[in-house]
Amino acid sequence: MKRRDFLKTGTMAGMGAGLTYLNFPVFGQKAPSNKVVLAVMGVNSRGSWLAQVAAKLPGAEIGYICDVEDGAIDKGLRAVARTGQQRKPEVIKDIRKLLEKKDFDALMVAAPDHWHAPAAIMACAAGKHVYVEKPCSQNGNEGELLVQAARKHSRLVQMGNQRRSWPNLQQAVKEVKEEGIIGKVYYARGWYVNNRAPIGIGKKIAVPATLDWNLWQGPAPRKDYLDNIVHYNWHWRWHWGTGEVCNNATHELDCMRWFMGVEFPTKVTSAGGRYAYPPDDWETPDTQTINFEFEGGKSISWEGRSCHPFELEGSGRGFVIFGDKGSLYNSGGDSYKILDTKGKLVKEVKQQDAQQNVTNTVSPGGEFLDGIHINNFLESIRGKAKLNSDVETVGHPSVVLCHLANIAQREGRVLHCDPKNGHILEDAAAAKLWARTYEKGWEPKV
């Protein structure tokens, strides 16, 4: 089926009764009362992409761009200009000053991980709805604070785990959970591989004139500027980043949790380390295997290799759900295969849009699939849909798995957890990593 035909005829489960693709992307209601004005924070890479996709959706407008680096700001402005949007977004570097503005409805957060929850919490307090990229927090405590902020201020907070909106995966979940197509599910396995280069040893140099290093650090305690941190390698430093687990495993862990109907684990183990290259500033694991156990006799495992591209099951990322009557295989996109217990193909569903590269660092799903998830956020603001990835029921519980995996890795031992909220039991040292310290005056406040 061609993309334009799919848009005209397809219906999307999970977006509200009677809501069809007639609301995405060129058949939407364009009345002024339906316009949602957005501000985008962090536009060097993913944020520019989000701005570009959102600006093309009906009734959406990028009113503001917020970034602290001149090159990134230029990227964001050019991304919006390419869409043909008539309004040129206003640039405001300081998120605190941006949130004083009354003439926009929602904030999209794609800044580094240490900014995700603090910015989202500030936005909720300012009366803005929030679309926050994964992970929705840099630690477990922040995630809980964000849930509290969304509740207190009655704001919609959607996390950018886009697969929750992908129509074929929604169909697959229904077949597994409601129709029992592979029987009783009890185990899931996910993976992600890449070929990332070493980052070397950073040199302390003067902060570039194009960067506001103080605002870039924001809520994180201050450190000297090094020449190998901005724009991407902060991912691999615990002070700002969360490693490959929150960077990419978030998606597969979220899907596996979704398919299996599990919430928080009872037991977490992790093995791995920085193995691929000689010692450098990369602190998080580049090689990691994680196992989670849940109540009801279910478990999940994930394997990540940041620096070796050998594919598993024929794909650079994906997951398999195992049941007593068969299995479901996903290769990272909006497609799946059902196999019986002898490995015979029972059913195959291919995604409608071929615009994907599952290990692309900007958009593994492409514009079409990302647009569905963003549009779900916009339609929820308009009161015409329900969030597919609400931070309380979907985003935070999935990201907690990632945080627990990192804590188990850093502490080098098994974690036993409360299945009601993921809190670490009887391990005070590990529990300290559930939260972090902040730069004075930047502590998140609900």
- Within this chain, do residues 326 and 253 fall inside the same structural domain, yes or no? yes
Residue 40 lies in a domain: yes
Average pLDDT over residues 395-402: 98
Residue 297 lies in a domain: yes
Least confident window among 5-14, 415-424, 429-438 = 5-14
Alpha carbon distance 2, 366 (integer Å): 16
* Helix residue ranges per DSSP H, 337-445: 366-381, 396-411, 428-431
Q: Which residue has the tokens 């009161």?
A: 383
- Within this chain, do residues 333 and 264 fall inside the same structural domain, yes or no? yes
Residue 51 lies in a domain: yes
The percentage of residues in the chain with a pLDDT greater than 90, rounded to a whole number, is 88
Query: Which residue has better confidence, 14 or 262?
Result: 262
Question: 146: domain CATH number?
Answer: 3.40.50.720
Question: What is the tens place of the pLDDT at every residue in 308-333?
Answer: 999 999 999 999 999 999 999 999 99
- Within this chain, do residues 16 and 156 fall inside the same structural domain, yes or no? yes
Residue 120 lies in a domain: yes
- Within this chain, do residues 270 and 244 fall inside the same structural domain, yes or no? yes
- Residue 360, pLDDT > 80, answer no
Least confident window among 16-20, 326-330, 398-402, 409-413 = 16-20
- Within this chain, do residues 27 and 48 fall inside the same structural domain, yes or no? yes
What's the confidence (pLDDT) of residue 22?
A: 31
- Within this chain, do residues 263 and 332 fall inside the same structural domain, yes or no? yes
- Domain end, chosen from 100, 135, 163, is at 163
Residue 312 lies in a domain: yes
Cis peptide before 403 (omega within 30 of 0): no
Residue 342 lies in a domain: yes
- Domain end, chosen from 163, 189, 224, is at 163
The number of folded domains in the chain is: 2
- CB count within 10 Å of CB 97 equals 10
- Residue 44, pLDDT > 70, answer yes
- Within this chain, do residues 140 and 229 fall inside the same structural domain, yes or no? no
* Helix residue ranges per DSSP H, 129-235: 140-152, 167-177, 213-217
- Residues spanned by the domain of 312: 174-203+210-360+394-434
- Within this chain, do residues 154 and 186 fall inside the same structural domain, yes or no? no
C-alpha distances (whole Å) from 360 to each of 241, 289, 297, 371 are 19, 22, 35, 16
- Residue 6, pLDDT > 90, answer no
What's the confidence (pLDDT) of residue 366?
A: 77
Residue 243 contacts residue 406 (beta carbons within 8 Å): yes
- Within this chain, do residues 45 and 64 fall inside the same structural domain, yes or no? yes
Question: What is the tens place of the pLDDT at every residue in 153-184?
Answer: 999 999 999 999 999 999 999 999 999 999 99
Question: 418: domain CATH number?
Answer: 3.30.360.10
Residue 64 contacts residue 43 (beta carbons within 8 Å): no
- Within this chain, do residues 159 and 178 fall inside the same structural domain, yes or no? no
Question: What is the tens place of the pLDDT at every residue in 238-256?
Answer: 999 999 999 999 999 999 9
Helix axes 140-152, 396-411, angle to 10 degrees: 160
- Within this chain, do residues 143 and 265 fall inside the same structural domain, yes or no? no
Tokens at residue 148, please? 């509290």
What's the confidence (pLDDT) of residue 215?
A: 98
What's the confidence (pLDDT) of residue 23?
A: 37
Geometric angle at alpha carbon 73, from 142 and 236, rounded to 5°: 45
What's the confidence (pLDDT) of residue 18?
A: 30
- Within this chain, do residues 185 and 113 fall inside the same structural domain, yes or no? no
- Residue 359, pLDDT > 80, answer no
Residue 364 pLDDT grade (very low, low, confident, very high; cuts 50, 70, 90): low
For the question of whether the overall pTM of this predicted structure is more than 0.85, the answer is yes
What's the confidence (pLDDT) of residue 361?
A: 63
What's the confidence (pLDDT) of residue 175?
A: 98
